[in-house]
Structure 1
């Protein structure tokens, strides 16, 4: 059940004293978007200076999740947890205030929401007290000029989307609908999405205001953030590739990708398979111009960060050089990285 300011949320009022089972996600989103307390919280978050996260001995011990990944962290081991590069995706944080345990995900498509929340909640424990929840990202892309995405290597599960609806709104609706159905209470602290997280640039394009964030694990405070490449933790390209190819691996159907073992404080990049023809597809995509890459491979071409195209080309180069998935995940085993004394990561297997 979703709570705002300690009160159950209903479709008719975000401050009602009773819940109504069966409320649709659309009705819930409409109620939450109009809630004064959540609007004020979004305003405070947008006004907070963005924090730049760096790596190295002086950097904080952090865990970062890429698109469609999740991780559960223990505040005794990790100082910061976060994600960035969000346009039409939603960053989700759930915190058990009694234990301090935190689960974070970067959700990109409605079909992974229900299974994803089951994964996120598994290590948080059962508790009668409400868990804090923050939902951030997913700007209002309903006016986008791109009606569907043809680049299935990048957005393989994106599919066709109604122009007036965009990608962000259906995802937000599914997230709040699933959370509201749980017996566990979730106190919604941030709802910085859609119209609460949208600006217009000098060219008239809608863009997200907050595209990344971190949570201080000891306090639960959330701050806008961006990450240097090395601070996104180990195995960047392989983890990015998993987002594309995982949709064709039945082991990851309707699930978030596993990436971090909280008990051992290691990154354990769960394996996935891809067909040999991915190399041919990657070669074809790499022949596109930069503008064509943006138009065909993004749900929000006008809102992507400057490194979007260059990152896609690095993924395609890897697939061309590694057409056989077993070279990356021998015997379908995970890639394991341990944290070193200087804060970097060393691959063990």
Structure 2
């Protein structure tokens, strides 16, 4: 069940729940307030001039990953995920809530949805009478956001939507009308529950950045991860336990993709080429280099065991 402003939320039609939430005055006001917050930039580099993460405890999540932090290690329990497909929403929410609600269906949970932007015309995405051909024009953000809202609406837990900074609220356009997200990510202050727009440079995305990026794509050909978020962080031990994922035939594919120009890589590998971060292509090239050097997934995950990392005194991570 969804609550807004402390009361149950309802719309004239369940299919229009997302649209109705986007227009709710309380959530519109919350989106305007969120948009006015300066984006925090995080790094562990001394020279970056960004907020330092060293000596702080944080859990960085890539696409399709999730993590739940425990009060034994932080100040309040929080679960965060980066969902990238409607197909993983139902199971993904169950994974996220496993360590949060403790089977108490009366639990009241604050929800913050941030990230998806208007990657198609709102005339298509917000139409309640879309034809099958129009549905193909819905892009990626609208179907994903609609599925998340539908899942929250139908689950037995009580979800208090505090932030809905997605679609039109999270969209800016250049002079040519190209759409871009205003914010790509967020940070949750576990001591207060405060959610703030944020971006993280490469030095702050550890541990095991490249392997975790590879898992995002490889998980789609690994049936053991069908419909699931990727297990990355162990709530009980405060360790990164990067569960195994298998892949095949990646060396030849990587060699082919590596030979393409940057513009070709953007067009082929991105769902929103004009909106990608500046390091998008470089990150892909580093992934392909790894796959060329390690074509057999068993080199990365011997005996299908997870790759385990524990915190060290300076706030970083070391391989166990």
TM-score, normalisation: structure 1 = 0.83
2:103 corresponds to which residue?
126
Matches within 5 A, 1:250-329: 250-275=223-248, 277-329=249-301
3-state SS of 2:59 partner: strand
1:104 aligns with 2:95: no
2:25 corresponds to which residue?
36
**Structure 1 gaps, min length 5:** 13-22, 80-99, 145-159
**Aligned pair in 2 of structure 1 residues 236, 78: CA closer, same or farther (>3 Å)?**
farther
3-state SS of 1:33 partner: helix
1:19 corresponds to which residue?
none
1:48 corresponds to which residue?
37
TM-score, normalisation: structure 2 = 0.90
For residue 139 of structure 1, the aligned residue among 117, 124, 129 is 117
For residue 220 of structure 2, the aligned residue among 221, 244, 247 is 247
3-state SS of 2:3 partner: strand
1:50-94 deviation line (CA, Å, top 9, x unaligned): 111223774521001100000000244247xxxxxxxxxxxxxxx
1:89-115 deviation line (CA, Å, top 9, x unaligned): xxxxxxxxxxx3111100000000001
Question: Structure 2 CA distance, aligned partners of 1:272 and 1:58?
Answer: 30
For residue 165 of structure 1, the aligned residue among 135, 138, 151 is 138
How many residue pairs get aligned? The number is 301
Matches within 5 A, 1:18-29: 24=14, 26-29=15-18
1:113-147 deviation line (CA, Å, top 9, x unaligned): 00100100000023424100000011000149xxx
1:147-169 deviation line (CA, Å, top 9, x unaligned): xxxxxxxxxxxxx9955311100
**Aligned pair in 2 of structure 1 residues 216, 3: CA closer, same or farther (>3 Å)?**
same
Question: Structure 1 CA distance, aligned partners of 2:80 and 2:54?
Answer: 24
- Quick check: 1:214–1:222 contact (8 Å CA) kept in 2? yes
- Quick check: 2:86–2:147 contact (8 Å CA) kept in 1? yes
**Aligned pair in 2 of structure 1 residues 264, 130: CA closer, same or farther (>3 Å)?**
same
3-state SS of 2:220 partner: helix
Question: Structure 2 CA distance, aligned partners of 1:283 and 1:10?
Answer: 52
- Quick check: 2:254–2:291 contact (8 Å CA) kept in 1? yes
For residue 154 of structure 2, the aligned residue among 149, 157, 181 is 181
Question: Structure 2 CA distance, aligned partners of 1:323 and 1:347?
Answer: 21
3-state SS of 1:71 partner: strand
Q: How far is the alpha carbon of 1:203 from its aligned partner?
A: 3.7
- Quick check: 1:294–1:301 contact (8 Å CA) kept in 2? yes
Q: How far is the alpha carbon of 1:211 from its aligned partner?
A: 1.0
1:116 corresponds to which residue?
92
The alignment yields a C-alpha RMSD, in angstroms, of: 1.8
